[in-house]
Amino acid sequence: MIQISNALLLILLAAGTALPQAQMSAGDITGTVTDQSGAVVPGAAVTVTNTGTGGIRSTETLSLGTYRFLLLPPGVYELKVEAPGFGALTRASIQVTVGQTVVIDAQLTPASVQQEVVVQTDTPIVETEKTQQADTITAERIVNLPLNKRNFLDLTLLTPGVTDSRGLIAYTLPMLPTSGLSFMGQNSRSNNVSIDGVDNNDNSVGAVRSTLSQEAVQEFQVNRSNFSAEFGRSSGGVLNIVSKSGTNTWHGDIFGFLRDQKLDARNPFAFGANGSPIDPPFRRLQAGFTLGGPIKKDKTFFFLSYEGLRQRESNFVSFLENTRFFQPTPTQETLINGLASSPVAALRGLSPLLRQNLTTSRATFPDTVRVLESNSGVFPFRNNDNNASLRLDHQLRSSDQMFSRLSFSDVDTIGATQGGLTGPSRGTNYQIQDYAAVFGETHFLNSAMVNELRFQFANRDFGSLPADRFGPEININGVALLGRSLYLPSVRDEKRYQWVDNFLVLSGRHDLKAGVDIQYLPFNTTSEIFLGGRFVFGEGVPLALVLDNAVGPGTSASIAAALTASGQSALVPSLSSTITALQAYNFGLPLLYQQGFGNPVATLENKLLGTYFQDNYHASRRLTLNLGLRYDVEFQPAPVHRDSNNFAPRAGFSYSVANRTVVRGGYGVYYAPIFEAVAFVARVLDGTQISQILVPLTGLPQLGISTTSAQIWGLLKQQGILGSRQIAASDIAKLGLRPGTTPPVINTAHGNIVNPYSQQGSFGIEREITPNLSVNSNYLVSRGVKILRGRNNNLRQAGTNAYGTVFAPINPAILQNNVVESSGGSIYHGMTLSVNKRYSHNNQFQISYTLSKAIDDTTDFISDLEPANQLNLRNERGLSSFDQRHRLVVSSVLNLPFERGTGLGNALADVTIAPIFTYSSGYPFNLLLGFDANQDTNSNTDRPPLAGRNTGIGPNFVSFDLRAAKDFTLGGDSRRITAIFEAFNLFNRVNYSGVNGTTGTTPLANYRVKGRKDAGPTDPLGFTSAFDPRQIQLAVKFRF
């Protein structure tokens, strides 16, 4: 199935057979055993016991007195040290988390002094051997912190250096979701998410497959930067999720979370079609259960979980909140009023006629008003989701441990991707099913050699279906986005066969790891990209052209002459001003028509190979070096180029200045995969399977095509095709347009496309303030190289106009040649400060602050985000869409210090308070004209003259979420009922989430602009949507 060259086989043999995520689902315990004088004690017997499962592992200290237990499942352990002539020492309550190396040193006393010592152990809060920038989200935080929709991955945002890319920027397409998380300014497609050591990614687009129920997650680790060579396929961050397993104790819970509109505040954009505020419907129920326990004590365990979501919510489409855009523009008003006062009767007669036709009303343009009213207001959004998993753990013997996991997820969503200026007819319905079967085996050859095996089969059926089955897509730029998305429907099936294995060897001061990961990904898709058609309406059409079309050629020139003759020459420039996008829609003057015809079906496959070698070198008791080299290669289907030189060196260090202070840093190269969506583009959209037709308002006279987009619109509207069925090739053949005979629009991949990568560096210091409190400060840098972008490379400079450079095709036989290429770049500089207090004395908290700046020259590889000037990529360099200058997150879990009894003490006993406070700066946004000023046949990328990319700054975000929970015991502490109150955005702050960046020809004093509260959603720089207002959630949970 997978062919590997001889050179790669040599690499695999040199690396051994090891898993590239050796510690993705486990941790280590290490330390040094000494006597009272500080001399090391070699040959001491060390035993570690998992207090939950009874699993026991044993080893002996080496000549340097050191010991190490590898690949311990997260949990609580007891460590016992014995040596001849010494009393036994037991260290209890050792907490091991995923990816953590816990250092537990032991000092033995002579047997004559004391036979055995038992010590309750606090795991050191500062990890002296850790070289990477990483945090672990523990079970206490997952269980207790308030989580809207119970998406535990949102807790990643509690850590520094991570931002939420689902905010102001709406750069994704409905069939191209992302992870929603940006690490150090990297695109949110650039992350790697794993569960129990195997991938949980959607390789088609770089998204995350459905994960586990929150109740089924033991903990997860957030690797932000400088992670070691065992981690691959990510130029951003790596998330390691560990699922819960059963123990010797029966345990489980039954829970239900309820939200209702009666408890929530009103969204500021919740208006009816008539503009009146309303209280929209909302109801959400999330319920489920877990059950875990032993099948055979100390041997076999199980853990079962189920969670269901039933949600009936509302989305808010705001373009009729304010109807000022129905009226003539100020320039048009000046012309209308000037004509009304003209001494020439014929000119005076034009004034009411212009006012009538430049005003959108039910009388003059009833179809326009009907379409806008039917798409504006409050619209339903529905979710029916189910999630289930079953995990089995079995210990064959102390040297052999096995586990298997089955997981299933079903997502049924209706009414997604609507809101703001996006009408319900542009909405998306999702039907997604994920299945995964995972098997793992860990074999300890001896105490210094371990082999670990993983296998996964996973299947994802992903369907993104349009709410409007027929189309076409209608963009009234800056006003409304209507009709079936140009990129839908899209249905794909992705399977994953993954084999991973690792081999770990302890040799003196060296912890050696080597690994290989092989994946086979067959991929079937039917993606009807471009087949629904698109019409774009925007500014850019002169009023003079409208007059000439409506009355007759030369009309505008006659009016200009009459105005000059009557002494009103100051009004003549108004004739050259452009009409609005809505007026262009009223008059049936689209800037362009675009549609594809052909076969949207593709069967593709990708193969991934990753291998690494790594050495954790303990140079001294204070200094640890992490040195490694990783190699990744993809076997993408033709015609995607194979990038076969992806060698990624990694180096990190950790130096313990004192027992409580650690300095750490490092540098590494991190490669990201090329998504299978690129292979689909190169295979299907290159003109062989799907042929596109694109016609602007002016037609293509230089290519001998006189038909205009207005003629196409008029014909389809006259024949009643628009909205009643999909546009067919025969419909436009009547105008002489035939797929394959007109100049094509081609989408493909560059012949030398390579894997994007980042160069990451970090340097920081961490200090233990108390045994349970630490402060951590770091400098982070990440440089993105060879980032994927789309670009039309069939353009040449053909002159200039009032907006700047004008372009024409190099090859007139090709209208567009859109190429996905590796020419993008980014740079991120950040400073992070964290204060962490782990749970002790009834409380824990974390404070994370990030000061950063992210700059790049591309956002994503889709054609609607191509450069404004395709020949000057440097001019695209600006603030990244993922830039967030300041971000502060404070979270805490507090158990009130009251004992059960009577009165107030009894009421406040067993009460947990858990708040999350978030402040973040606004994201940048792009200013757009909304029409094709530079004549490159792309109307979605043109900016105002001299405006840089992403010069607008969106609104900041402030929110305070709170959970309060009260436990009630039922016949003993082992059975409890918990009553839960949760409030999200407790103080009901209005957090705007969208800005209308389509400024058209509206003059701006400067381009460093912000959103305007005094503007309507359809006004330039007006806010178009807002995040949720205050929402209250009530819950009950029974635990045993």
Domains with residue ranges and CATH for the chain: 6-120 (2.60.40.1120), 324-372+533-598+681-749 (no CATH), 754-1039 (no CATH)
Task: Mention every residue, 6+ apart, whose C-beta is less than 8 A from residue 238.
Answer: 191, 192, 193, 194, 223, 227, 231
Does residue 491 contact residue 531 with C-beta atoms inside 8 Å? Answer: no
What integer is the mean pLDDT of 702-709?
Answer: 89
What integer is the mean pLDDT of 332-341?
Answer: 93
Partners of residue 808 on adjacent β-strands: 796
Q: Is the pLDDT of residue 372 over 90?
A: yes
What integer is the mean pLDDT of 722-744?
Answer: 92
| DSSP H or E stretch at residue 369 | helix 366-375
d(CA 847, CA 832): 10
Q: For residue 344, what are its two tokens?
A: 């020439």
Rg (CA), the chain: 32
d(CA 574, CA 560): 10
Q: For residue 992, what are its two tokens?
A: 């705007």
Q: Is the pLDDT of residue 658 over 90?
A: no
Q: For residue 9, what are its two tokens?
A: 């086989």
Residue with tokens 């033709």: 638
Selection from 144, 129, 100, 475 nearest residue 319 by Cα: 475
Better-scored residue on pLDDT, 165 or 499: 499
d(CA 315, CA 379): 5
d(CA 491, CA 463): 4
Query: Phi and psi for 467 in degrees, rounded to 5?
Result: -65, -35
d(CA 481, CA 866): 19
> Which segments of 793-867 are extended strands (E)?
795-801, 804-809, 816-840, 843-856
d(CA 733, CA 741): 11
Q: For residue 597, what are its two tokens?
A: 């015809």
What integer is the mean pLDDT of 811-839?
Answer: 95
pLDDT recorded at residue 117: 66
What integer is the mean pLDDT of 382-405?
Answer: 95
Share of the chain above pLDDT 70, in %: 96
Count of positions (residues) in the chain: 1040
First and final CA of the chain: distance in angstroms? Answer: 48
d(CA 404, CA 1010): 52
d(CA 279, CA 312): 14
Q: Is the pLDDT of residue 611 over 80?
A: yes
Lowest-confidence segment of 374-378, 737-741, 981-985 by average pLDDT: 737-741
What integer is the mean pLDDT of 18-39?
Answer: 75
pLDDT recorded at residue 23: 55
> Which 3 state secondary structure label does DSSP give 349?
helix
pLDDT recorded at residue 11: 39
Q: Is the pLDDT of residue 24 over 70?
A: no
> Which 3 state secondary structure label does DSSP give 851?
strand
**CB neighbour burial string for 68-80, b if at least 16 within 10 angstroms, e if fewer:** bbbbbbbbebbbb
Q: Is the pLDDT of residue 45 over 90?
A: yes
| Secondary structure of 31-82 in HEC code, one letter for each residue | EEEECCCCCECCCCEEEEEECCCCCEEEEECCCCCEEEEEEECCEEEEEEEE
Q: Is the pLDDT of residue 16 over 50?
A: no
Q: Is the pLDDT of residue 128 over 80?
A: yes
Rounded to the nearest angstrom, the gap between the alpha carbon of residue 133 and the centroid of all alpha carbons in its chain is 20
d(CA 337, CA 364): 20
d(CA 467, CA 293): 45
Calculate the average pLDDT of the chain: 92
Does residue 868 contact residue 884 with C-beta atoms inside 8 Å? Answer: no
Lowest-confidence segment of 108-112, 128-132, 492-496, 583-587 by average pLDDT: 108-112
Q: Running DSSP on this structure, what letter comes out for residue 557?
A: H
| DSSP H or E stretch at residue 1024 | strand 1023-1026
Torsion of CA 91, 92, 93, 97, to 10 degrees: 50
What is the band of 872 on the pLDDT scale with cuts at 50, 70, 90?
very high
Q: Is the pLDDT of residue 22 over 70?
A: no
Residue type, 333: E
pLDDT recorded at residue 864: 86
Q: Is the pLDDT of residue 429 over 50?
A: yes
Residue type, 216: A
pLDDT recorded at residue 299: 94
Does residue 970 contact residue 977 with C-beta atoms inside 8 Å? Answer: yes
d(CA 889, CA 915): 10
pLDDT recorded at residue 12: 40
| CB count in 10 Å sphere of residue 493 | 17
Q: Is the pLDDT of residue 440 over 90?
A: yes
Query: Phi and psi for 572 in degrees, rounded to 5?
Result: -60, -45
Task: Mention every residue, 6+ apart, whose C-beta is less than 8 A from residue 37.
Answer: none
Q: Count of alpha carbons within 13 Å of 127, Cβ hemisphere only? A: 22
**CB neighbour burial string for 871-907, b if at least 16 within 10 angstroms, e if fewer:** eebeebbbbbbbbbbebbbbbbbebbeeeeeeeeeee
pLDDT recorded at residue 120: 65
Does residue 223 contact residue 650 with C-beta atoms inside 8 Å? Answer: no
Residue with tokens 């949990």: 75
Does residue 976 contact residue 968 with C-beta atoms inside 8 Å? Answer: yes
Task: Mention every residue, 6+ apart, whose C-beta is less than 8 A from residue 386.
Answer: 306, 307, 308, 309, 408, 409, 410
What integer is the mean pLDDT of 247-259?
Answer: 96
d(CA 617, CA 393): 32
pLDDT recorded at residue 1002: 87
Rounded to the nearest angstrom, the gap between the alpha carbon of residue 143 and the centroid of all alpha carbons in its chain is 23
Residue type, 596: G
Q: Is the pLDDT of residue 5 over 70?
A: no
Q: Running DSSP on this structure, what letter comes out for residue 144?
A: H
Helical H segments across 91-225, by residue range: 139-144
